[in-house]
């Protein structure tokens, strides 16, 4: 009898443990009207409105062509995925303690972020006020509209506070794509260098073939056109992104006005697509890697990692990386040079690393 009772106690304890550690994460012990911060059906979300205390706000909406920010810009997938993941995983860990209650409420009212979530039919699903980090750094203070008690919100597997995930800054929400066009869809590419125009070139699709136009001083003294290189080059215009937007920065206009121009790139597609990118050198600064280590491809006065650029009919100023654009910064003579002989024992690559070298 004693063994039976012991077994029952053990089974009861195990059952409670399973409930506490597994089920409790999806079924909050608190009232949904007070602590229902989780949105499991994120596929039903049709619109998100986020407003900060400083007056900055964004509206992100689901459309037939994808998610759009402020009715004009494509949404950045990584930011959208992160906030959806947060809605799905966040849950109330415990109510804000009585000793921290007044401070939490004050923070929510003065610095809090308002997040409104609507379904696909436009019906309001939830309004969440997002505050800062909790007193003991275990989570993020949040309050549901209509609730009386703020809660400390947590996401399993994440250490830190969640406030930054609910950003109201447009630059954090805008898609950062500059070029994303399949090579067969490209009608023409123009690469013009401001300081050394002899390196400039255009690639045009004529009657199904690619034609490279360059300064005659380049083409007449070199080998015949290397068509393979021209075809490979067009592949470089798929999924080209900027590091971020610089619109609205106080000193950006003056920095750009004094920055020497590097180049202009224009790409035209077969179906009317067009993008022009005007690129400018960025002055060297204390973050520049070439402060201590010289880069032979970059003048000493300029940053070897980043550059400024202007896109979208001169409406947007962005920051780009050499790491992304260096393979686009080709020179005319490279299209008139023979490919290096590849080692037959070397691993196969679509484009050998020594095919198009900078000189």
Is residue 134 assigned to a domain? yes
Tell me how many domains the chain contains: 2
Q: Are 166 and 130 in contact (CB under 8 A)?
A: yes
Is the domain of 55 the same as that of 195?
no
Mean pLDDT value across residues 258-263: 92
Last residue of a domain, one of 118, 145, 173: 173
pLDDT, residue 288, reads: 72
- Residue 285 has a CB neighbour count (10 Å cut-off) of 10
Is the domain of 169 the same as that of 188?
no
Pairing between β-strand 201-206 and β-strand 209-214 as defined by DSSP bridges: antiparallel
Is the domain of 212 the same as that of 124?
no
> Can you tell me the distance from the alpha carbon of 166 to that of 157, in angstroms, rounded to the nearest whole number?
18
Place of tokens 């309004």: 127
Mean pLDDT value across residues 248-275: 86
pLDDT > 70 in the chain, percent = 82
Is the domain of 133 the same as that of 186?
no
Mean pLDDT value across residues 177-206: 95
Is the domain of 207 the same as that of 143?
no
* pLDDT band with cut points at 50, 70 and 90 for residue 15: low
Is the domain of 140 the same as that of 50?
yes
Is the domain of 111 the same as that of 229?
no
Is residue 12 assigned to a domain? no
Is the domain of 145 the same as that of 184?
no
Is the domain of 151 the same as that of 243?
no
Is the domain of 155 the same as that of 261?
no
Q: What is the pLDDT of residues 194-215, one digit of tens each?
A: 989 999 999 999 988 999 998 8
The domain in which residue 40 lies consists of: 29-173
The better pLDDT of the pair 319, 22 is held by 319
Q: What is the pLDDT of residues 145-170, one digit of tens each?
A: 999 999 999 999 998 889 999 999 99
What is the pTM (predicted TM-score) of this model? 0.79
pLDDT, residue 1, reads: 55
* pLDDT band with cut points at 50, 70 and 90 for residue 309: very high
Strands (DSSP E) along 137-176, which ranges? 140-144, 151-154
The H-or-E segment that residue 108 falls in is: helix 98-111
Is the domain of 168 the same as that of 317?
no
Q: Are 131 and 163 in contact (CB under 8 A)?
A: yes
């Amino acid at each position: 009898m004693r063994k039976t009772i012991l077994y029952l106690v053990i089974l009861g304890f195990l059952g409670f443990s399973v409930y506490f550690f597994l089920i409790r994460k999806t079924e909050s012990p608190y009232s949904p009207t007070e602590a229902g911060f989780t949105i499991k059906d994120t596929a039903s979300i049709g619109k998100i409105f986020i407003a900060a205390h400083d007056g900055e706000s964004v509206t992100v909406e689901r459309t037939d062509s994808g998610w759009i920010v402020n009715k004009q810009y494509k949404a950045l997938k990584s930011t959208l995925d992160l906030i959806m993941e947060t809605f799905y995983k966040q849950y109330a860990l415990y109510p804000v303690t009585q000793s921290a209650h007044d401070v939490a409420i004050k923070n929510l009212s003065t610095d809090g972020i308002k997040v409104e979530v609507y379904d696909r039919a436009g019906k309001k699903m939830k309004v969440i006020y997002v505050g800062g980090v909790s007193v003991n750094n275990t989570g993020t203070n949040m309050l549901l509209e209509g609730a009386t008690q703020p809660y400390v919100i947590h996401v399993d597997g994440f250490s830190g506070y969640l406030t930054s995930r609910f950003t109201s800054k447009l630059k954090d929400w805008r898609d950062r794509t500059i070029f994303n066009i399949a090579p067969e869809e490209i009608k023409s590419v123009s690469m013009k260098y401001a300081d050394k125009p002899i390196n400039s070139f255009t690639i045009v699709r004529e009657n199904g073939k690619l034609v490279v136009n360059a300064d005659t001083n380049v083409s007449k003294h070199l080998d015949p056109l290397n068509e393979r290189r021209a075809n490979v080059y067009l592949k470089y215009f798929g999924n080209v992104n900027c590091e971020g937007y610089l619109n609205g920065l106080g000193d950006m206009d003056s920095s750009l006005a004094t920055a020497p121009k590097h180049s202009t790139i224009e790409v035209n597609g077969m179906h009317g697509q067009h993008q022009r990118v005007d690129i400018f050198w960025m002055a060297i600064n204390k973050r520049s890697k070439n402060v201590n280590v010289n880069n032979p491809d970059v003048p000493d006065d300029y940053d070897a990692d980043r550059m400024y650029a202007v896109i979208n009919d001169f409406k947007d100023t962005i920051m780009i990386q050499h790491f992304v654009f260096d393979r686009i910064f080709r020179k005319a003579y490279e299209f008139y040079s023979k490919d290096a002989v590849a080692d037959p024992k070397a691993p196969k690559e679509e484009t050998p690393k020594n095919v198009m070298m900078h000189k």
